Amino acid sequence: MTANATDGARALEAAIPHFRFFELEVLRTRRLGRSFLRITFGGAYLTDFRSGGYDQSLSLFLPPAGREHTVLPSTGEDTWFGAWRAMPDGERPVMRSYTVREQRRTAAGVDEVDIDFVLHGTSSPASSWAGRAVTGRRIMAIGPAVAENKSVRFQPPAATDAILMYADETALPAAAAILDRLPEGTSVRAWFEVPHEDDRLYLPTSADADITWVVRDPGAGRERTDRLLEALRAAGAPAAEAPYVWIAGESATIRAVRRHFVQDCGIDRRAVSFTGYWRLGASEEELLAEAYAGRAPSEDPTVKL
């Protein structure tokens, strides 16, 4: 390839959007624990899906109650958001962010994507849909079309000599996907919080991982943070020169955990990646309303991924 051709190919590659719409078809479901359900999706569009691994996120559009498949009035880059928001409340698909647990190509040449859902009754639209998902149901998603994309937040510096992790049940699929990709010998200290004893999942990894499971008391409120911090403090500061911290889960808990690692353990705040997946006392719809307040339909559709 000539220099001019190389430059042209790079320019074309840069012009390809990082995210696009995909249609996902339910292939099968599998219960992982009391609170976790894995749904495996397939479909012809997945040949263009490019997960960057680790905590790769995507946005799912789940059909409203009584509808089998997701229907969107537009999937155009500049028009989808306004068209989706303009749909009547009873017809608008529910948009939720999830983690790609795994993407693979089977021996038969079929592309599959696993997404793990947390089940907590029918009060949550996502939990309600996942609990009744059956083979053949189709939903829409905004997902990655290139592996190097901004929705992979796990980005440890090259000099990192230890990984510290915290996740509650909503972030456990992301944490599991990270562990699954870490190279052999990576030093990991992790605290994972789950609602029930049988939610302590088997998490395969080649890393040298020391995992502490924190099983939450039924009905625990904000005092759950104090219990978690006790477990973190009992472990002491990490014996590492350049640790990297990845934490995700309930917003207030995440702030407290981040404060612990930065202030109590003396870790450089720039080496701490943190994401609030939800907020205690606020519904998913309230959080979405806050997120979209004042946002114009023409803005980048991937900013919330």
Q: Over the stretch 102-118, which tens digit does the pLDDT of each residue have? A: 999 988 888 999 999 99
- What pLDDT score does 43 carry? 87
Q: Whole-angstrom Cα distance, residue 257 to residue 262?
A: 9
In sequence order, the β-bridge partners of residue 62 are 94
217 and 254 belong to one structural domain: yes
26 and 140 belong to one structural domain: yes
Q: 58 or 301: whose pLDDT is higher? A: 58
Which two tokens mark 86? Answer: 């303009």
Which two tokens mark 63? Answer: 């059909």
Please determine, for residue 300, whether its predicted confidence score (pLDDT) is greater than 50. Answer: no
Please give the sequence-ordered ranges of beta strands (E in DSSP) within 19-119, or none if there are none. 19-31, 36-42, 57-62, 94-99, 102-105, 111-118
Q: Whole-angstrom Cα distance, residue 190 to residue 248?
A: 12
- What pLDDT score does 65 carry? 83
Please determine, for residue 120, whether its predicted confidence score (pLDDT) is greater than 80. Answer: yes
Please determine, for residue 3, whether its predicted confidence score (pLDDT) is greater than 90. Answer: no
Dihedral Cα 16, 18, 20, 22, nearest 10 deg: 110
What is the total count of domains within the chain? Answer: 2
Last residue of a domain, one of 86, 116, 149: 149
131 and 188 belong to one structural domain: no
Residue 18 pLDDT grade (very low, low, confident, very high; cuts 50, 70, 90): confident
Q: Give the range among 124-138, 258-272, 279-293 with minimum mean pLDDT.
A: 279-293
Please determine, for residue 26, whether its predicted confidence score (pLDDT) is greater than 70. Answer: yes
Q: How many CA atoms lie within 13 A of 229 on its CB side?
A: 18
* Residue in 34, 30, 171 with CA at minimum distance from that of residue 112: 30
Please determine, for residue 212, whether its predicted confidence score (pLDDT) is greater than 60. Answer: yes
Residue 137 pLDDT grade (very low, low, confident, very high; cuts 50, 70, 90): very high
Residue 62 pLDDT grade (very low, low, confident, very high; cuts 50, 70, 90): very high
176 and 141 belong to one structural domain: no
- What pLDDT score does 244 carry? 97
* Residue in 250, 247, 246, 248 with CA at minimum distance from that of residue 287: 250
Q: Whole-angstrom Cα distance, residue 67 to residue 139?
A: 11
- What pLDDT score does 4 carry? 52
Last residue of a domain, one of 149, 173, 195: 149
In sequence order, the β-bridge partners of residue 170 are none
- What pLDDT score does 108 carry? 83
Query: Is residue 168 in some structural domain?
Result: yes
- What pLDDT score does 11 carry? 45
Q: Is 33 left (phi over 0), alpha (psi -120 to 50) or beta?
A: beta
CATH number for the domain including 261?
A: 3.40.50.80
144 and 170 belong to one structural domain: no
Residue 180 pLDDT grade (very low, low, confident, very high; cuts 50, 70, 90): very high
211 and 88 belong to one structural domain: no
20 and 130 belong to one structural domain: yes
> pTM of the prediction?
0.86
- Inter-residue contact 259 to 231 (CB < 8 Å): no
Domain residue limits at 223: 162-278
27 and 136 belong to one structural domain: yes
Q: Whole-angstrom Cα distance, residue 118 to residue 171?
A: 10
Q: Is 247 helix (H, G, I), strand (E, B) or coil?
A: strand
Query: Is residue 7 in some structural domain?
Result: no
The DSSP code for 136 is: T
- Inter-residue contact 166 to 274 (CB < 8 Å): no
Query: Is residue 291 in some structural domain?
Result: no
- What pLDDT score does 73 carry? 94
Q: What single-letter amino acid sits at 151?
A: S
Q: Whole-angstrom Cα distance, residue 288 to residue 57?
A: 16
Query: Is residue 298 in some structural domain?
Result: no
123 and 20 belong to one structural domain: yes
193 and 105 belong to one structural domain: no
State the residue for tokens 């290139």. Answer: 146
Please determine, for residue 301, whether its predicted confidence score (pLDDT) is greater than 90. Answer: no
Phi, psi for residue 288 in degrees, rounded to 5: -65, -40
Chain segment 72-102, per-residue pLDDT in tens: 999 998 899 999 999 998 899 999 999 999 9
- Inter-residue contact 137 to 26 (CB < 8 Å): yes
- What pLDDT score does 34 carry? 92
Query: Is residue 288 in some structural domain?
Result: no
Q: 9 or 169: whose pLDDT is higher? A: 169
Q: Give mean pLDDT, residues 167-183.
A: 96
